């Protein structure tokens, strides 16, 4: 279960309650239409899961993902969070970057006979992905024809799809109307996470339940938050997610892509608009970034994410050390309590310092909670995109760099 609280200090909401309803309806209209497909994933991916039941996953113990951006960030986020509670989960190895040292190091971790390879690219021609795939084919002498240890996840009719058809390699498709950064609940996340042994059905259930609750009008705090962020977007244009759990670091990276790539756009009038996402980890970043939030410019709002029950009883021993006796007041407390008290104290210090904040509390680490917080952020992003009057779902700004690269490397 997720619970929410907020301390939005500026109180400069743009719209009244009646308009909240309009915001909800405009999103419902988008959900019911054909242009934006991610809303239907929590339901439709259940059918996909049924088809996966025939997949013999016992054959392998390593799940290798070749993908970058939306083709890896969501999978990594879920893997990091659920691994500690999924004892039978298989090792996942991610090839993302074109960094030669990382590729070489990752190759050395792979046991070819135990590994299953997932090649993930929505467009089907991502240069990092295809280059690394070729490298793996050569290094491990992978047999392509009728391969049973290679799976392709891509758009229908993409180049990579044609490749899969030619070599008779099993292929899963991403709906055309689901963008990369909104695709984690499509085949992109569902297939490899199922293969790795995760309870994907519960992730989808958690997302479906939260989405239903939102459209049933029971999550109006989300409308309030979208409205607040929009209304203060000129002043508080940096949105920090401060997660109090190390394992949420990859989730914050997923958030950074979702937020930055969706909301940084030229608007209808050609004006540069956008909100800058930053991911922090508590308590570590209390010793780094916090000073800037408190005493720097008032250009940030902060969302805390914390986990109520880590299901871990590790406690600070009741030991007195000569010299540092003054730390004894914390003896016998659990680290679970310490990190949550640190979150609470940081939040209180922000409130006293006039920084807007809100909190999302996960009662525990669970598949349902992960599904819920994923759809929470996707819905929030869509809501803000709507009121900013931008196209939330494209990314035209990255094309120029690609063109320059291809030209410099001699592509025709």
Give min distance, CB of 148 to a copy of itself, in A: 18
Give min distance, CB of 403 to a copy of itself, in A: 8
- Check residue 283 for interaction with a copy of itself (CB under 8 A): yes
Q: Which stretch binds a copy of itself (CB under 8 A): 37-45, 50-58, 101-109, 379-387?
A: 101-109
Contact 170, 152 (CB under 8 A): yes
Nearer to a copy of itself, 9 or 160 (CB): 160
Q: Which of residues 194-223 bind a copy of itself (CB under 8 A)?
A: none
Nearer to a copy of itself, 149 or 257 (CB): 257
Nearer to a copy of itself, 86 or 336 (CB): 336
CA atoms within 13 A on the CB side of 378: 29
- Check residue 78 for interaction with a copy of itself (CB under 8 A): no
Contact pick of 31, 221, 336, 386 for a copy of itself (by CB under 8 A): 336
Contact pick of 296, 308, 363, 364 for a copy of itself (by CB under 8 A): 296
- Check residue 5 for interaction with a copy of itself (CB under 8 A): no
Give the Å distances, CA to CA, from 362 to 22, 58, 244, 287. Answer: 29, 32, 11, 24
Choosing from 261, 265, 300, 368, which is the catalytic residue?
261
Nearer to a copy of itself, 57 or 237 (CB): 237
Choosing from 11, 29, 53, 287, which is the catalytic residue?
287
- Check residue 146 for interaction with a copy of itself (CB under 8 A): no
Nearer to a copy of itself, 210 or 310 (CB): 310
Query: Among residues 165, 152, 166, 94, which one has the least CA distance to residue 123?
Result: 152
Contact pick of 3, 12, 50, 104 for a copy of itself (by CB under 8 A): 104
Contact pick of 40, 225, 253, 368 for a copy of itself (by CB under 8 A): 253
261 is annotated as an active-site residue: yes
Q: Which of residues 364-383 bind a copy of itself (CB under 8 A)?
A: none
Per-residue contact track with a copy of itself, 149 to 188, x per CB under 8 A? ----------xxxxxxxxx------------xx-------
Nearer to a copy of itself, 81 or 223 (CB): 81
287 is annotated as an active-site residue: yes
Buried b (16+ CB within 10 A) or exposed e, 72-105: bbbbbbbbbbbbeebeebbbbbbbbeeeeeebee
- Distance of alpha carbon 340 from its chain centroid, rounded? 22
Query: Among residues 206, 276, 291, 292, which one has the least CA distance to residue 241?
Result: 276
Whether residue 283 has a cis bond before it, omega within 30° of 0: yes
| Residues belonging to the chain | 412
Q: Which of residues 106-145 bind a copy of itself (CB under 8 A)?
A: 124-125, 127-128, 130-131, 133-135, 137-138, 144
Nearer to a copy of itself, 21 or 315 (CB): 315
Q: Which stretch binds a copy of itself (CB under 8 A): 7-15, 95-103, 206-214, 372-380?
A: 95-103
Contact pick of 312, 363, 364, 389 for a copy of itself (by CB under 8 A): 312
Q: Active-site residues: which are they?
A: 261, 287, 402
């Amino acid at each position: 279960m997720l619970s929410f609280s907020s301390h939005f200090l500026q109180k400069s909401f743009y719209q009244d309650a009646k308009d909240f309803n309009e915001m909800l309806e405009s999103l419902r209209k988008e959900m019911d239409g054909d242009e934006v497909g991610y809303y239907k994933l929590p339901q439709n991916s259940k059918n996909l899961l049924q088809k996966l039941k025939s997949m013999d996953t016992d054959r392998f113990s390593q799940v290798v993902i070749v993908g970058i951006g939306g083709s890896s960030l969501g999978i990594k986020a879920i893997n990091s969070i659920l691994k500690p509670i999924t004892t039978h989960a298989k090792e996942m190895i991610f090839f993302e970057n074109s960094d030669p040292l990382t590729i070489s190091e990752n190759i050395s971790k792979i046991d070819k006979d135990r590994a299953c390879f997932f090649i993930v690219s929505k467009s089907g021609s991502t240069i990092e992905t295809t280059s690394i795939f070729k490298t793996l084919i050569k290094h491990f002498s992978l047999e392509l024809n009728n391969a049973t240890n290679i799976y392709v996840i891509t758009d229908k009719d993409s180049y990579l799809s044609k490749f899969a058809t030619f070599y008779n390699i099993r292929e899963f498709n991403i709906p055309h109307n689901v963008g990369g950064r909104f695709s984690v609940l499509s085949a992109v996340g569902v297939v490899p996470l199922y293969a790795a042994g995760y309870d994907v059905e519960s992730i989808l259930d958690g997302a479906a339940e939260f989405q239903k609750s939102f459209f049933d009008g029971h999550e109006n705090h989300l409308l309030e938050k979208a409205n607040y962020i929009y209304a203060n977007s000129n002043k508080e244009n940096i949105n920090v997610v401060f997660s109090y759990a190390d394992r949420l670091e990859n989730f914050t990276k997923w958030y950074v892509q979702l937020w930055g790539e969706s909301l940084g756009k030229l608007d209808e009038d050609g004006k540069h608009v956008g909100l800058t996402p930053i991911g922090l980890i508590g308590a570590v970043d209390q010793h780094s970034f916090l000073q800037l939030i408190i005493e720097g410019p008032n250009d940030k709002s902060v969302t805390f994410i914390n986990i109520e029950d880590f299901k871990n009883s590790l406690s600070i021993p009741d030991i007195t050390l000569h010299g540092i006796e003054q730390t004894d007041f914390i003896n016998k407390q659990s680290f679970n309590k310490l990190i949550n008290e640190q979150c609470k104290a940081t939040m209180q210090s922000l409130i006293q310092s006039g920084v807007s904040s809100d909190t999302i509390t996960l009662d525990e680490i669970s598949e349902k909670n992960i599904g819920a917080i994923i759809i929470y952020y996707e819905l929030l992003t869509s809501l803000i995109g709507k009121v900013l009057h931008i196209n939330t779902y494209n990314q035209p700004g990255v094309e120029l760099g690609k063109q320059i690269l291809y030209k410099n490397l001699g592509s025709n």
